[in-house]
Chain A
Amino acid sequence: MTVHIEEAPAPPPPVRGTPGHGEDRRPPRRWLPSNWVPYLLIAPAIIAILSVLGYALFRNLLISFQEFGRKQLISRTTEWIGVENYRTVLQNERFWDSVVRTFLFMAANVVLIMIIGTLLGLLLNALGKKMRLVLAISLVAAWAMPVVATTTVFRWLFDTQFGVANWMMRTLGFSGYDQHNWFSSGLSTLAIVTLLIVWTSVPFVAINLYAGLTTVSGEIREAARMDGASSWRIFWSILLPIMRPFFMITTFLEIIWVFKAFVQVYAMNGGGPDRESETLPVMAYVEGMGQNQYGVAAAISVLTLLILLIAMSFYFRLILKQEKENS
């Protein structure tokens, strides 16, 4: 693969060539006006991020204070209405249902992903070489499946008429699964989305935990075992503290990923039936594209972002606290 190398380093040697650590800084060569070199190098990246992502965030905030429907979309006019959209959203029961639903959905998913992922990671670590390869291949296959494809496959598995799920329930002796519609309520729809998300997310946790565990020296564990520690104790008192940064960052990432999951929920059942499986990102989409209420949709996104930020800041504080305790 050829990459345009000219882009990368700019010609004149920079004044100070040291990364992060200030101790071994070389004496600055003042005769070279190269202070701008690092800025030149980062400029394209920063401009791209700001103009696409930054502008979208900014405009989202603006639109949330505007009356923006089909009429304004066509006539391209701007009508400022202050906090009216927020009032509409906050007074809408559906929004609050959606908030509660999103949190329960996220909590259920993240807890399941972390617990099952951890157990699988430990299992990978305990297995022999051959069996580990078999399990790893299955996990990677689930992980590699594209989101659209997995969602379609899960709809097929849970198809009312020809789904293998209904067949399996019948075979196991449960009655009433002849034409069972798994998507008949919001709760069961989200349960299937949960199954899907957990299925695709667990491999990430398991394989990375396993990769991390291989770096933990076996001697520590051997010694603990000799001293009579149980497997549970070894996990709790040795592996967990060592792997704490891993668990922190992974939980954090999973929270964000599940919170903003859109395709899985939307492509499964369009937020239905009767908008009962709408999480916040799906609700914003349905209000915007479905009802042409772009202003209201923007207000929902802003509120969703705020919630996400608050959740993240709690988490950041937790991490900072842990860091302090450890040092």
Chain B
Amino acid sequence: MRKLWLNGTALVLSVLFIFPVYWMFSTSFKSNSQVLTKDPVFFFTPTFDHYSTATGVDLFWTFVTNSLVVTIAAVLLALVVALAASFAIARMEFKGRRGVVIAVMMAQMAPWEILIIVVYLNARDAEMLNSLVTLTLIYFVMALPFTIWTLRGFIAAVPKELEESAMIDGCNRVQAFIRVIFPLLAPGLMATSLFGFIAAWNEYAMVLVLNKSPDAATLPLWLTQFQTNFGNDWGATMAASSMFTIPVLIVFLLLQRRVTGGLSAGAVKG
């Protein structure tokens, strides 16, 4: 009886949680007359019209390329810089180490949303508005603290003895790192880079303010293109939202199991 009750609750909640996602996908496949109706249509033959509208806008492929370039560059940069820093923090003793750890933690909670205006002014003064470089730099610094934090944990989890025995066997420190630690870090590198990827891929506030020009815009701006003062093309909006969400959804589902365990220590969220 208790089992039935629990399962029932879980089922209702699952439906509630999935509903907006379902509604987004289903709207994207409806014809315009089925979208623009007071009483929603639940059964229909899918049409791909909205997808061609959404991908047919000017510069669509520029948005895609911009998004990919900025995101990948920011994540790679963050990985390289974070790997160095986290190795120092996890494996070396030095003056000011605690200070660095605290600075990284603080940066992780950084109130970017509150600083949008100043970031805009700084970019403007440096003549770096509508630039992919600016966006890359900002996403890199946004991803950096979390990447350092997570990699530090992964490096610290590798027993020092492994490294030391490799050094006794004749490796120098660099070789020991490459042969012993690095392979063990692979899952950590994958997980952090994917989270960094998702965060940069989804970022909207900064690109809204800094890169309004269509040439330098990214996909989140494309998403809001179908809502104008003259009315919303809801079908196209939902098609764009769906296309934008699918990659993230897949990555998340693959990743979720691996990362949730050690998650409470780091802020894995936008």
Residues of A within 8 A of B (CB): 1, 3-5, 7-14, 16-20, 22, 25, 35, 37-39, 41-42, 44-46, 48-49, 52-53, 55-57, 59-60, 63, 73, 76, 120, 123, 126-128, 131-132, 134-150, 152-157, 159, 161-162, 164, 166-167, 178, 199, 203-204, 207-208, 211-212, 245-246, 249-250, 253, 256-257, 260-263, 266-267, 280-281, 284-285, 288-289, 294, 297-298, 301, 304-305, 308, 312
Contacts and interface: CB of A to CB of B under 8 A. Distances in A.
Contact of B107 (A49, A159, A246, A267): A49
16 contacts: A8-B84, A19-B156, A60-B117, A60-B118, A73-B121, A127-B6, A146-B244, A152-B237, A153-B21, A153-B23, A166-B38, A199-B20, A203-B17, A260-B111, A289-B117, A304-B111
B140 interface: yes
B7 A156 contact: no
Contacts of A20: 93
Contacts of B268: 204
B23 A157 contact: yes
Contacts of B6: 123, 126-127, 131
Contact of B13 (A19, A120, A305): A120
B141 interface: yes
For B17, B27, B252, B268, which residue has the most chain A Cβ atoms within 10 angstroms? Answer: B17
Interface of B: 3, 6-7, 9-11, 13-15, 17-18, 20-21, 23-24, 27, 35-40, 76, 79-85, 87-94, 97, 100, 103-104, 107, 109-122, 124-125, 137-138, 140-141, 144-145, 148, 156, 160, 167, 172-174, 177-178, 182, 189-190, 193, 198, 201-202, 204-205, 209, 220, 223-224, 227, 232, 234, 237-238, 241, 244-245, 248-249, 251-253, 256, 260-261, 263-265, 267-270
A18 B20 CA distance: 50
Contacts of B144: 45, 48-49
Contacts of A245: 264
B234 to A, nearest CB: 6
Contact of B93 (A9, A18, A161): A18
A294 B20 contact: no
Which of A52, A123, A203 has the most C-beta atoms of chain B within 10 angstroms of its own C-beta? A52
Given A3-B80, A301-B117, A144 B173 contact: no
A41 B204 contact: no
Q: What secondary structure prevails in chain A residues at the interface with B?
A: helix
Given A38-B94, A144-B253, A59 B122 contact: yes
B269 A131 contact: no
A252 B198 CA distance: 23
A154 B115 contact: no
Contact of A147 (B87, B109, B148, B204): B204
A110 to B, nearest CB: 14
A49 to B, nearest CB: 5
A141 B97 CA distance: 39
A131 B264 contact: no
Contacts of A298: 117-118
- B21, B156, B264 — which one has the most chain A CB atoms within 10 A of its CB? B264
